[in-house]
Amino acid sequence: MSVDQPSIGDRIVHKEFLAITRHRLALYCGASGDHNPIHVDLDFARQAGFPDVFSHGMLVMAYLGQALTDAVAPSRVRSFSTRFVAITQLGAELTCEGTVAEVFEQEGEKRAKLALTTRDQNGEIKLAGEAIIAI
């Protein structure tokens, strides 16, 4: 399989990440400016009806974006979109994948649509989306 000549069903993106920790969530708060206490304050999360803090959706999206640009040069990415499917719990070990769903030509350029997912260690989808890349 080649990014230059992909076939439908080829896995282009695959990256595994270490478990999400409280420390990582705190670092992401500082880096992103998203200081919502639901992500770092256990008491606040419990008062809101959750058993513990949970990951920022945008952190999970960033992991998927990193996995995409590790596999495909950023200059080849024409679009990247996602939708949040489920809360990503503390301790989740995420795997990001992208497979070729379609090959087409647009604006004189050969392109591929990738179906993207981020799953936890139990196989539950946390994030789904797609990317269009130049091939």
- Residue 108 is predicted with a pLDDT of 95
pLDDT by residue (tens digit) across 7-62?
999 999 999 999 999 999 999 999 999 999 999 999 999 999 999 999 999 999 99
Q: Does the structure show a pLDDT above 70 at 2?
A: no
Read off φ and ψ for residue 6, nearest 5 degrees: -80, 155
pLDDT at position 3: 76
**Strand 109-119 relative to strand 125-134, pairing:** antiparallel
Interatomic CA distance for residues 61 and 3, integer angstroms: 22
Higher pLDDT, 1 or 129: 129
Q: Is the pLDDT of residue 1 over 60?
A: no
Cβ-in-10-Å burial (0-12, 13-18, 19+) of 26 comes to: middle
pLDDT of residue 17: 98
pLDDT, tens digit, for every residue of 60-117? Answer: 999 999 999 999 999 999 999 999 999 999 999 999 999 999 999 999 999 999 999 9
Task: Give the H or E element holding residue 46.
Answer: helix 42-47
Closest CA to 56 of 33, 83, 28, 30: 28
pLDDT at position 107: 92
Q: Domain 11-20+55-134's class? A: alpha beta
Rounded to the nearest angstrom, the gap between the alpha carbon of residue 52 and the centroid of all alpha carbons in its chain is 22
Q: Which residue's entry shows tokens 């679009």?
A: 79
Reading the block at residue 73, the tokens are 């040069």
**pTM surpassing 0.85?**
yes
Angle between helix 22-32 and 57-71 (nearest 10): 90
State the pLDDT at residue 120. 98
